[in-house]
Chains A and B, each alone.
Chain A
Amino acid sequence: MNGASIVRVRLGKGDEIRFVSHLGFMRAFERAVRRARIPVAYSEGYHPHPKIQFATALGVGMTSEAEYLDMELAPVDSGDLCTHDVFERLRLAAPPGMPIIAVCALEGRPTLASSIEWASYRVDVHPTARPELEDAVREFLLSDHAIVEVNTKSGQRRADIRPMVREIRWSGSGALECTLACGGRAHLRPQDLMAHFHSMQGRRGEPEQRHGSIARSCIHRTGLYFTDRGGGDLASPMSVECRDLVMAGS
Chain B
Amino acid sequence: MVNKDLLLTDVLPNVSQPARYTGHELNAGAGYRAGAEATLLLAFPDVYEVGMSYIGFKILYEIVNSNPAWAAERAFAPWPDMEAQMRIHGIPLYGLESYTPARSFDVMGFTLQYELTYSNVLCMLELAGIPVRADGRREGDPIIIAGGPCASNPEPMAPFLDLVVVGDGEEAIAEIMRETARGKREGASRAAIVSRLAKIAGVYWPQAQNHVTRRVVADLDSAEYPRKFVVPFLEAVHDRVALEVMRGCSRGCRFCQAGMIYRPVRERSMDNLCELAEALVGSSGYEELSLLSLSSADYTRIKELISKLAAEYGPQGVAVSLPSLRVDSFSIELARDVEKSRRTGLTFAPEAGTQRMRDIINKGVTEDDLISAASDAFESGWDQIKLYFMIGLPYETFEDIEGIAVLSKRVLDLGRRIAGARGKAGRVRVNVSVSSFVPKPHTPFQWFAQDSREQLEQKQSYLRERMRARGLSVSFHDVWASHLEAAFARGDRRLAPVIERAVSLGCRFDGWSDQFKPGLWQQAFADTGLDSSVWANAEYGYSDALPWDHIDMGVSRAFLVREAHRAASGLTTPDCREADCSGCGVCRGDVRVRLAGAFAGSPSQGGGQA
Interface residues of A (CB under 8 A from B): 15-21, 23-25, 27-28, 30-35, 37, 40, 42, 46-48, 50, 60-61, 93, 95-97, 208-211, 214-216, 218
Contact = CB atoms under 8 A, between A and B. Distances in A.
B126 to A, nearest CB: 25
Contact of B233 (A28, A33, A40, A218): A28
A75 to B, nearest CB: 14
B318 interface: yes
A28 B316 CA distance: 16
Contacts of A21: 19, 234
The 9 closest A-B pairs by CB, nearest first: A31-B285, A19-B18, A35-B285, A16-B24, A95-B26, A34-B285, A214-B13, A20-B233, A24-B233
B287 A30 contact: yes
B13 A211 contact: yes
Given A25-B233, A34-B316, A46-B341, A96 B13 contact: no
A31 to B, nearest CB: 3
Contacts of B342: 46-47
Contacts of B281: 34
B224 interface: no
A27 B13 contact: no
24 contacts: A16-B22, A17-B22, A17-B24, A20-B233, A24-B235, A27-B235, A34-B285, A34-B316, A35-B282, A35-B283, A42-B317, A46-B343, A47-B341, A61-B12, A95-B25, A95-B26, A96-B25, A96-B26, A97-B24, A209-B13, A211-B15, A214-B18, A216-B9, A216-B10
Given A21-B19, A34-B286, A46-B343, 16 more contacts: A16-B23, A20-B234, A27-B233, A32-B285, A33-B285, A34-B318, A35-B282, A35-B284, A40-B317, A95-B26, A95-B231, A208-B13, A214-B13, A214-B18, A216-B10, A216-B13
Contact of B286 (A31, A40, A48, A215): A31
A61 B19 CA distance: 10
Contacts of B24: 16-17, 96-97
Contacts of A31: 26, 231, 284-287
A32 B64 CA distance: 26
B523 interface: no
A71 to B, nearest CB: 13
Contacts, number: 91
A236 to B, nearest CB: 27
B475 interface: no
Interface in B11-38: 12-16, 18-19, 22-26, 28
A157 to B, nearest CB: 24
Contacts of B285: 30-35, 93
Nearest to B231: A31
A15 to B, nearest CB: 8
Contacts of A216: 9-10, 13
A40 B257 CA distance: 45
A51 to B, nearest CB: 11
Interface of B is mostly: loop
B382 to A, nearest CB: 12
A95 B228 CA distance: 13
A47 B19 CA distance: 27
Q: Give the residue among A19, A23, A218 with the most B Cβ atoms within 10 A.
A: A19
A2 B12 CA distance: 46
A230 to B, nearest CB: 41
Contacts of B15: 211
Contacts of B287: 30-31, 34
A61 B26 contact: no
B231 A19 contact: no
Interface string B301-329: 00000000000000011100000000000
Contacts of B318: 34
Nearest to A61: B13
Interface residues of B, number: 33
Contacts of B22: 16-17, 19
A24 B282 CA distance: 19
B281 to A, nearest CB: 8
B210 to A, nearest CB: 44
A17 B341 contact: no
B18 A60 contact: yes
A19 B19 contact: yes
B315 to A, nearest CB: 9
A116 B115 CA distance: 52
A206 to B, nearest CB: 10
Given A17-B233, A27-B235, A34 B9 contact: no
A32 to B, nearest CB: 6
Interface in B259-301: 281-287
Contacts of A47: 341-342
A126 B281 CA distance: 45
A20 B343 contact: no
Nearest to B314: A48
A16 B15 CA distance: 17
Contacts of B9: 216, 218
Contacts of A35: 282-285
Interface string B447-472: 00000000000000000000000000
Contacts of A25: 233
A116 B447 CA distance: 68
A89 to B, nearest CB: 12
A34 B317 contact: yes
Given A19-B12, A35-B284, A24 B19 contact: yes
Contacts of B317: 34, 40, 42, 48, 50
Q: Give the residue among B10, B14, B23, B316 with the most A Cβ atoms within 10 A.
A: B14
Interface in B89-113: none
Nearest to A33: B285
A49 to B, nearest CB: 9
Nearest to B239: A27
Interface string B482-493: 000000000000
A199 to B, nearest CB: 19
A148 B418 CA distance: 57
Given A20-B234, A46-B342, A28 B18 contact: no
A123 to B, nearest CB: 14
A30 B106 CA distance: 38
Nearest to A49: B317
A37 B318 CA distance: 12
A190 to B, nearest CB: 14
B26 A208 contact: no
A20 B231 CA distance: 13
A216 B285 CA distance: 34
Nearest to A93: B285
A11 to B, nearest CB: 14
Contacts of B316: 34, 37
B108 to A, nearest CB: 25
A210 B14 CA distance: 7
B26 A28 contact: yes
A91 to B, nearest CB: 14
Contacts of B16: 211
A95 B12 CA distance: 21
B320 to A, nearest CB: 14
A20 B19 contact: yes
Contacts of A208: 10, 13-14
Nearest to B11: A208
B497 to A, nearest CB: 37
A61 B11 CA distance: 12
A16 to B, nearest CB: 4
Contacts of A27: 233, 235
Q: Give the residue among B9, B12, B24 with the most A Cβ atoms within 10 A.
A: B24
A76 B341 CA distance: 22
